[in-house]
Amino acid sequence: MICFPNAKINLGLHIISKRKDGYHDVETCMVPIPINDALEIILSKKAVFETSGLDIPGEEKDNLILKAVKILRKDFNDLPDLHIHLHKNIPMGAGLGGGSADGAFALTLMNTLFELHLEDWILEDYASQLGSDCPFFIQNTPKIATGRGEILEPVDVNIQGDHIVLIKPPIHVGTKEAYAGIKPQKPKFQLREILSDKSSWKEMLVNDFEASIFPQYPELAEIKAKLYEMGAYYAAMSGSGSTVFGLFTAKPEPRSWPSGYFVFESVV
């Protein structure tokens, strides 16, 4: 069986407070976007995990797909061996949630493959053990996320039919680095209220990470400014970076970007 894990963007991201468990309480809106990896899982006589496409850093045992298999095996220890192939297309360390999507989609794919009949709330519980962003990709619809990012509520955000441009320069922003410059604070306005009026997004829809990351990486701020010059009605960094995206009501004119940039444009 094969599926196509997709990326997400963050529409606004508030870092509200530091938690006792070392994480942060956040408020953000996550929206799926049409840039995809490809994941195939089939039954096999021996366990195989292979990848193609973009190089995946780190050790194989830390891959969220294999962690998803391990989590399911704790409760379903008679699952057979699997041959897993991941074709990686979504950039990593980009704030797009590609790894989280791979892990969550692996859970849903195995749920179908093995006919486990697990409901979404159970799959979301498994996904929360993989990472804070992972539960979002189970239902894979626009959600406001709070807590560590695992508490999800539906939200009416309609960007379907709009155009999105993703720009990722060859810059890696680590999660620890991103949080190091953050001063948690309660937002002045509720995110749900801001999201209800697109005309306010440019002025009011804020990613708190930009205040600390842009001074360190002025190139990201320049990309955001250029997306507005191209006619975006909203532009921001996604998550903790380093992808910057622009949303457009109509297809923007092509622009030349420096060599080494990852560039993606599509209708949402």
Taking alpha carbons only, the member of 37, 27, 48 closest to residue 97 is 37
Q: pLDDT tens digits for 166-175?
A: 999 998 887 7
Considering the candidates 8, 88, 168, 224, report the single residue annotated as catalytic.
Answer: 8
- pLDDT value at residue 241: 79
Tokens of 249: 């009501």
Catalytic residue among 88, 133, 168, 224: 133
* pLDDT tens-digit map of 104-151: 999 999 999 999 999 999 999 999 999 989 999 999 999 999 988 889
Quick one: tokens of 261? Answer: 């940039």
8 assigned to active site: yes
Percent above pLDDT 90 for the chain: 76
Do 2-154 and 163-267 show the same overall fold?
A: no
Which CB contacts under 8 angstroms, 24+ apart, belong to 127-132?
127/68, 127/103, 129/71, 130/64, 130/67, 130/68, 130/71, 130/100, 130/103, 130/104, 131/64, 131/99, 131/100, 131/103, 132/23
Please state the domain extents for the chain.
2-154, 163-267
- DSSP code of 14? E
CATH superfamily of the 163-267 domain: GHMP kinase, C-terminal domain (3.30.70.890)
Tokens of 27: 């408020």
Catalytic residue at 20? no
Looking at domain 2-154, which of 3.20.20.80, 3.30.230.10, 3.10.310.10, 3.30.450.40 is its CATH number? 3.30.230.10
